[in-house]
Amino acid sequence: MASSLKDSWKETGKGLGHAFKDLGKTVVKTVEKGVNEAVDWADREDAKICQNCNTANPPESKFCSSCGKEL
């Protein structure tokens, strides 16, 4: 009985490990996409620059994507 419980927990741990690994990959991809978009916005001549934190924002923005202040 104890052996089957141990094996069950081992399999559960492996499954959780894979889930966290996949979650980590998703977070990295999402952050990378956000950084790339921010770089693209900063390179645009019509970017709105936040007076509070100097973050470049898309021209249609009403609020800063970094600090939340009104643009």
| Domain ranges for the chain | 2-57
Of 2-6, 10-14, 65-69, where does the model show the most confidence? 65-69
Task: Specify which residues 63 forms β-bridges with.
Answer: 70
Model pTM? Answer: 0.47
Who contacts 47 (Cβ-Cβ below 8 Å, separation ≥6)? 41, 56, 57, 58, 59
Tell me phi and psi for residue 52, to 5 degrees.
-85, -45
**pLDDT tens readout for residues 6-62:** 888 888 888 888 888 888 889 989 989 888 887 777 777 888 999 999 988 888 999
Residue 2 confidence (pLDDT)? 59
CA distance 71 to 59: 10
Report the candidate in 54, 52, 56 with the shortest Cα–Cα distance to residue 41.
56
